[in-house]
Structure 1
Amino acid sequence: MILTFIFLAAIVVFICMAFKVVPQQEVYIVERLGRYHATLEAGLNFIIPIIDRVAYKHTLKEIPLDVPSQVCITRDNTQLTVDGIIYFQVTDPKLASYGSSNFVVAITQLAQTTLRSVIGRMELDKTFEERDDINRTVVASLDEAAVSWGVKVLRYEIKDLVPPQEILRSMQAQITAEREKRARIAQSEGIKQEQINLAAGQREAEIQKSQGEAQASINESQGAKVAQINRAEGEAEALRLVAQATAEAIRQVAAAVKEPGGTEAVNLKVAEQYVDAFAKLAKTNNTLIMPANVADIGSLVSAGMSIIKGQNTTIVK
């Protein structure tokens, strides 16, 4: 009974050892009698216990590997403390098991040496500006060497570039000076643009003012010209109307003289005006000028009538 129980237990243990369940995205390397035999992929697999054994286990996932910080010397003899991170993936489990005793250590050491070599060919300022180029160079170098280890290096990223404190202070001072310089340049450009704008505005204002004054002068001269023309036309029209009125009056007087009794009326009017003129002259002047024949008013009237008759004759003609 005991032997049977032991036998059954041995069978159970054998079966448990014979079947291997491999998780997803993992592989097992099986050795038979110390030599590589097979690669077990995800799922249920069968091996021969005691003869076969799982020698290595690998994950096929992308693995991030932290590269320890190290001191690198740049081309201009400046020390930099650099650390980074590598992303790699096992592509050939057999090579990963037998290509290197420890591919993780190999990748880490190669990344450090490659990084020191790349930074040693650059100046300090370039290391900050060309981090992408450094990353690509390290990845290319690691990927070339990692082929024989069954590993694919996907990316390398520099996490920190830390120069000495003295360099940091000098860089900070340089950055501060550069920013102050840019601020002064920007301020001067602003002042310059302001002056340009003010000058342009003043010039435009002067141009507008001069144009306005010129237009006002033109309008004023045109207005004065128009006023002069209107005034001259008005005066001419007034003279013309006066002349027409005078001519009409003369024609009416001439017509009245020709009518019966017209001559006697004219003689009476001339005599009245003659007497009235001498009366006014006596009132306004101390010296009175008298004609030689002042007593002969009839002769004066006859002379005036002869003049009127002559004018009438001329008008009739």
Structure 2
Amino acid sequence: MTLLQSPTFLIALIILVLGIIVVAKGLVIVRQSEVMVIERLGSFNRLLESGINFIIPFIDQPRAITMIRYTRSGEDYIPISSTEARIDRRETVMDFPGQPVVTTDNVTVRINGALYFQIIDPRAAVYEVENVSQAIEVLAKTTLRSVVGKMELDRIFESRSEVNDKIQAAMDEPSNKWGVRITRVEVQDIHMPEEVEDAMRLQMAAERRRRATVTEAEGEKSAAIARAQGERESAILNAEGDKEATILRAQGEQESIKLVLEALGNDIDDKRTVVGYLLGQTYIKTLPDMAKNGERVFVPYESSALLGSMGMFRELSGTPEDVARAASATNSAVGRAAMGGAAFGS
């Protein structure tokens, strides 16, 4: 009997083959970011982390997880269900179809969102929920309807980040029970009925016209204020110029009088004569201006100043013709003053 026909050899060969099969079946290589849930005789045994692992064939079995993913074909979303023995711990995106939502101002909109989640507890994801991806999808849809249904349409457009934060906060507690962490939620597209879009376009156009009108009015207001300020500053400058000119003229007359008085020396009679002459001259020059500025000008009854001035004119004038004209003007003024005051028309 040969060695191949020996029962011992055959038994050893069978044991070797079985050993190879056991090793081949029991050797499991888990890739990075993946994990496997192992059951022994139907009960949870352990988790296989990344690297080389060994299980007992036919006794230890991996527990599969069911995942649903969507593929987009044009405007339609096609769901694809798969059963996977290896659980991916990486962040996964779920782009679920758009959902009709009614806002508080009774506008029906269709919102398409994207959900990012990550499995952090594979055991809970397998044993706490039947289909973790489907559960997350349904939870996201119901939360979206609940959050958006409490808001107005304009606010949804203005505060998308607020909507995302509210949805994520509402999904945190139930998703943690399933061993899933919701990393973020994004509202992608908001589709409205055509009549609502037309109304919003008209509203935006009216708002732009209103802003243009307000801007134009503010510009006109600023221009009017600038003009008024310019006219005010111009009037102030003119008044200051007139004031300075009047002061300079008065100072000049004062200097001229002072020079005349200094030239006369200490003769008091000559100084009185000159002062009376200057006052009378100023008085006479003022009368026409007073008549022009008003409808009626009353000369007071006391005409001694006028007579005195005219007398000084006679003393200072050297020609008979000047004396006669001054006397005639003096008599006429005195006659009118004697009647109680004369009125000069403007």
- Given the two structures, how large is their TM-score scaled by the length of structure 2? 0.63
SS at match of 1:84: strand
Q: Give the equivalent residue in structure 1 for 2:257.
A: 228
Could you tell me how far apart the structure 2 residues matched to 1:209 and 1:228 are? 28
Q: Deviations over 1:232-279 (max 9, x none)?
A: 3234499xxxxxxxxxxxxxxxxxxxxxxxxxxxxxxxxxxxxxxxxx
1:71 equivalent among 89, 92, 100: 100
The alpha carbon displacement at 1:133 in A equals 3.4
Name the % identity.
Answer: 37
Look up the match of 2:198.
169
Once the two structures are superposed, residues 152-199 of structure 1 have per-residue CA deviations (whole angstroms, 9 ceiling, x without a partner) of: 222212112222121112111111211211111111111101111110
Q: 143, 162, 169: which is aligned to 1:114?
A: 143
Larger Cα Rg: Structure 1 or Structure 2?
1
Q: Secondary structure at the match of 2:162?
A: helix
1:80-99 matched pairs, under 5 angstroms: 80-99=109-128
Residues 1:136 and 2:136 are matched in the alignment: no
Aligned AA for 1:146? Answer: S
**Structure 2 residue 212 is the aligned partner of structure 1 residue 183:** yes
The letter of the residue matching 1:148 is: K
Equivalent of 1:202 in 217, 231, 236: 231
Q: Which runs of 5+ in 2 are unaligned?
A: 64-84, 268-346
Per-residue CA distance 1:81-113 (angstroms, 9 max, x = gap): 101111211121111112222111111111112
Partner of 2:22: 14
**Structure 1 residue 29 corresponds to structure 2 residue 37:** yes
Compute the displacement of 1:9 (Å): 5.4
Q: Note the alpha carbon deviations across 1:15-71, whole angstroms, 9 max, x for none.
A: 232222222222101122333221111222111122222223212222222122111
Alignment equivalent of 1:103, drawn from 128, 132, 139: 132
- 1:277-305: CA deviations, max 9, x gaps? xxxxxxxxxxxxxxxxxxxxxxxxxxxxx
Q: Distance in 1 between matches of 2:169 and 2:224?
A: 56
Determine the C-alpha separation between the residues in 2 that align with 1:88 and 1:169.
37
- Unpaired runs of 5+ residues, structure 1, are 239-317
CA distance in 2, matches of 1:108, 1:75: 24
Pick aligned residue for 1:40 from 24, 42, 48: 48
Aligned residue for 1:213, secondary structure, equals helix
**Compared CA separation, residues 65 and 232, structure 1 to 2 (3 A):** same
Instruction: Name the CA distance, whole Å, in 2 between partners of 1:172 and 1:50.
Output: 67
Shift of residue 7, structure 1, vs aligned partner: 6.2
Question: Residue in 2 aligned with 1:275?
Answer: none
Partner of 1:310: none
Q: Distance in 1 between matches of 2:170 and 2:232?
A: 67
In structure 2, how many angstroms separate the alpha carbons of the residues matched to 1:82 and 1:15? 52
The 2-side partners of 1:91 and 1:80 are apart by 34
Give the corresponding residue for 1:211: 240
For 2:212 and 2:18, the matched residues in 1 are separated by 85
1:159 pairs with 2:167: no
Counterpart mapping for 1:277-292 below 5 A = none
**Match for residue 51 of structure 1 among 49, 56, 59:** 59
- What CA distance in whole angstroms lies between the structure 2 residues aligned with 1:237 and 1:16? 145
- Answer 1 or 2: which has greater helix percent: 1
The Cα offsets for residues 193-227 of structure 1, whole Å up to 9 and x where unpaired, read as 11111101111111111101110110111012112
Aligned residues: 239
Equivalent position amino acid for 2:31 in 1:
P
1:185 is paired with a residue whose SS is helix
Aligned-partner Cα distance in 1 for 2:152–2:158: 10
Deviating beyond 4 angstroms after TM superposition, the runs of 4 or more aligned structure 1 residues are 1-10
Q: CA contact under 8 A between 1:67 and 1:111: conserved in structure 2? A: no
